[in-house]
Amino acid sequence: MNILVFVKATIDRNAPLDPDEIFPGDRDDKSDVMTNNYDKNAIEAALRIIEEKGEGKVTAVCLGSDMADKVVKEAIAMGCHGAIRIENSKAEVTHFFSVAKILAAAAKKIGEYDLLLFGMQSYDYGTATMAPMVSEFLDLPLACWVEKVAFTNGKVVVDKVIEGGIRKVEIQMPAVLSIASSGDFEEPRYTSVRRIMKASKTEVPVWEIADLGIEEKKPSVEFDDIEEPPARTEKCIVFDDGDANELVGELIGALKEKGLNLGAYK
Amino acid sequence: MAKILIILENSKGKFVGLTKECLTVVQKLAGDLNADVEGIVLGHGINELAQEAGKYGVKKIYKVDDAEFSGINILYHTRTIEALIKEIDPTLVIAGASLYGQELVPRLAARFDKAMFASVNNLSIDDDEYEGIHPLFEEKLFVTMEGSAEELTFATILGGNNPEAEPDDNLSAEVVDFSPVIEDSDKRESFVEETIAKVSVDITKAKLLVSGGRGVGSGEKFAVIRDTAKALGGEVGASRAAVDAGWVAYDHEIGQTGKTVTPDFYIAAGISGAIQHLVGMRNSKTIIVVNTDEEAPIVEIAHFAIIGDLHEVLPELAKQL
Ligand SMILES: Cc1cc2nc3c(=O)[nH]c(=O)nc-3n(C[C@H](O)[C@H](O)[C@H](O)COP(=O)(O)OP(=O)(O)OC[C@H]3O[C@@H](n4cnc5c(N)ncnc54)[C@H](O)[C@@H]3O)c2cc1C
Ligand SMILES: Nc1ncnc2c1ncn2[C@@H]1O[C@H](COP(=O)(O)O)[C@@H](O)[C@H]1O
């Protein structure tokens, strides 16, 4: 079983955001970069599938600048057998439509795969378009928001999240899956400092976009201005000191001060 | 005359709420573009549903009514809608950004080699350009997407940003049968089964909600949420984790795959604040969090937070009020 898992480097959740620097490649500080959270669920799924099968190989694939080295190495430290980074210096290619074409072309170049796993969404873009677009460009069947997988003769049977429940579908491999943040792969494994040290010594091949043979096409929908929502004026008032009786007393007092009556609906 | 094609998502014989929100967006666009609204509805035994779409201003409905469509198969849907697009040549293809829409529409757009307005709050027209705003970084920033209105365009509309369209009994639509198009390669996907919970309680009108998550601990312990809601005169809400665990019925689920609520008070107990939950409750007037973890993301959007064990705090709250 050959699995490709697509991982993205995004700006760390705890780092301040600047509308002019939304790509890790735009920033100077490498510590601001993290693995897109949901991609760890995808890595977890890939590793578990291989472990259960007792054979196979997981390759992490990432389009990003050298800032993303940290991310592919984390994937290796978690247990991926190899990784490929596609150079996107200074974030030249940023549109999801173009990214999907590049990732599909990279998969083609790798050639051998049974499953292509994606995180269910990226933290920065969050368009959730990558898995469906790549599956279309490669003409592969697809299931999104997968919580559980099982295998029967060349097919993968998945449980996917739907509104109000779960849908089970059976799809022929090779196939594309996006992995849910909930369900069997909810808790990605931790990796140790030792493994990260070891992974950081691994050579990760770097591919050039130009070698992937993609025909350039201007996306039909483009990004324009990036803006911040109106800032919230009040910060959360936190009560953390005292027993339940005191904490609740303080809360009720604070509500009263703001003219709010939690007891009004009894 | 230009045409807008709306994909009318349905479940259990009804249009989903998000499709009705999308119809509001479409009605406005139809006016601005001077376009006719046409719709496609896919399923099995959907005669009445197809008729009903007319009440929302859809002029012509393409009905794909076939046993092969009793369960959703995305490849069948993609192929059949592709065929319809080629036949009727719409300028815009639009659907709700539900889980179905998010899986189907990007695939469809890619088939026509198009980018798309992916999960936008709204879609409007300015001169001959479409404009849509898409949240980045879990709504910490927003990007405007733009694209020419002269080209075939695809869009999905996020829930919770537009009111649901109201039916008008004076309106009706022409319903046309459209034959399914399925190729052999589409049989690489097959529907097996699905479970969808029934909805009987409506919590969306409650002024006060006490909502419990995985942090409640067990089905038995979930009683503390019900007791507190009762004592305060509110309704019970829940995260998907609590619903999945079977502690509380789906009717109470709040978020992307549940309800959107905006009560005066929302008390979130033992809920971490995944974005899928936040989108369903972040517009509540006053948000109070009870969580053992001060760093839980839900604290960021709350107005008040008590850091402590919900099993101690909630009974105390009921007592002191
Ligand atoms: C496609 C898709 C759609 C989804 N849609 C939804 C949706 O509509 N709604 C939704 O809610 N989720 C949805 N989810 C799931 C979502 O991603 C999260 O997994 C879920 O919201 C987590 O629920 P939780 O906060 O209850 O649990 P957790 O994230 O496990 O959080 C539990 C919290 O309880 C706290 N806690 C523990 N013990 C105590 C205690 N004694 N007292 C107080 N606090 C305590 C912990 O500190 C923690 O913050 C969806 C997921 C997918 C993949
Ligand atoms: N630049 C990238 N390199 C590798 N994988 C990516 C990249 N961008 C997105 N992905 C994958 O696509 C998923 C969905 O992202 P998105 O469509 O941006 O919401 C992510 O969770 C990743 O698995």
Task: Give the position of tokens 């429940």.
Answer: A165
The share of chain B scoring above pLDDT 70, in percent, equals 100
The stretches of B54-98 forming alpha helices (DSSP H) are 74-88
Q: Identify the pLDDT of residue A28.
A: 79
A228 with B140: Cβ contact below 8 A: yes
Atom of ligand 2 nearest to the CA of A125: 18
pLDDT above 90 (res B198) = no
Calpha distance B152→B164 (Å, rounded) = 26
Q: Identify the pLDDT of residue A21.
A: 85
pLDDT classification of A3: cutoffs 50, 70, 90: very high
Query: Which H or E run includes B310?
Result: helix B310-320
So what's the ipTM on this one? 0.96
pLDDT classification of A30: cutoffs 50, 70, 90: confident
Q: Which residue of chain A has the CA closest to B230? A: A266
Residues B290 and B313: beta-carbon distance below 8 Å: yes
Calpha distance A84→A75 (Å, rounded) = 11
Q: Is the CB of A191 under 6 A from ligand 2?
A: no
| Ligand 1, atom 36: closest residue by C-alpha | B215
pLDDT classification of A56: cutoffs 50, 70, 90: very high
**Nearest-CB residue to B98 (from A100, A163, A222):** A163
Distances (CA, A) of B163 to A15, B50, B85, B159, B204: 35, 21, 27, 9, 14
| Ligand 2, atom 4: closest residue by C-alpha | A62
pLDDT above 90 (res A181) = yes
Higher pLDDT pick, A19 / B248: B248
Where in chain A is CATH 3.40.50.620? 2-212
A167 with B194: Cβ contact below 8 A: yes
Nearest-CA distance A134 → chain B (Å): 8
- Kindly report the average pLDDT of chain A as a whole number: 94
Query: What is the architecture of the domain spanning A2-212?
Result: 3-Layer(aba) Sandwich (3.40)
A172 with B73: Cβ contact below 8 A: no
Calpha distance B75→B104 (Å, rounded) = 8
In order of their start, the domains of chain B are 3-188 (3.40.50.620), 203-319 (3.40.50.1220)
Over range A107-114, report the average pLDDT: 96
A244 with B195: Cβ contact below 8 A: no
- Kindly report the average pLDDT of chain B as a whole number: 96
DSSP category for residue A202: S
Tell me the CA–centroid distance for residue B291 and ligand 1, in Å. 12
Q: Which ligand is nearest to the CA of A132?
A: 2
What's the angle, vertex CA A32, arms to CA A30 and CA A36, rounded to 5? 110
Q: Which ligand is nearest to the CA of B254?
A: 1
In this structure, which amino acid lies at residue A193?
V
Over range A184-206, report the average pLDDT: 93
Q: Identify the pLDDT of residue B199.
A: 83
Q: What is the pLDDT of residues B75-108, one digit of tens each?
A: 999 999 999 999 999 999 999 999 999 999 999 9
B320 with A127: Cβ contact below 8 A: no
Contacts of B92 (CB under 8 A, 6+ apart): B3, B4, B5, B29, B33, B35, B130, B152, B153, B154, B155
Q: Identify the pLDDT of residue B272.
A: 98
User: What interhelical angle do A244-257 and B310-320 show, nearest 10?
Assistant: 50
Q: What is the pLDDT of residues B154-166, one digit of tens each?
A: 999 999 899 999 9
pLDDT above 80 (res B230) = yes
pLDDT classification of A55: cutoffs 50, 70, 90: very high
DSSP category for residue B194: E
Chain B residues touching residue A135 (CB < 8 angstroms): 107
The share of chain A scoring above pLDDT 70, in percent, equals 100
Tell me the CA–centroid distance for residue B240 and ligand 1, in Å. 7
Over range A212-227, report the average pLDDT: 90
pLDDT above 80 (res B117) = yes
Which residue out of B306, B307, B311 would a mutagenesis test of the A interface target, given it has the greatest number of A Cβ atoms within 10 Å? B306
Q: Is the CB of A74 under 6 A from ligand 2?
A: no
Q: Which of A77-91, A205-219, B297-311 has the highest mean pLDDT?
A: B297-311
Q: What is the DSSP string of B231-293?
A: HHT-EEEE-HHHHHTTSS-GGGBBSTTSB----SEEEEES----HHHHTTTTT-SEEEEEES-
Task: Give the position of tokens 């896919």.
Answer: B42
Q: Identify the pLDDT of residue A18.
A: 87
Q: Identify the pLDDT of residue A234.
A: 81
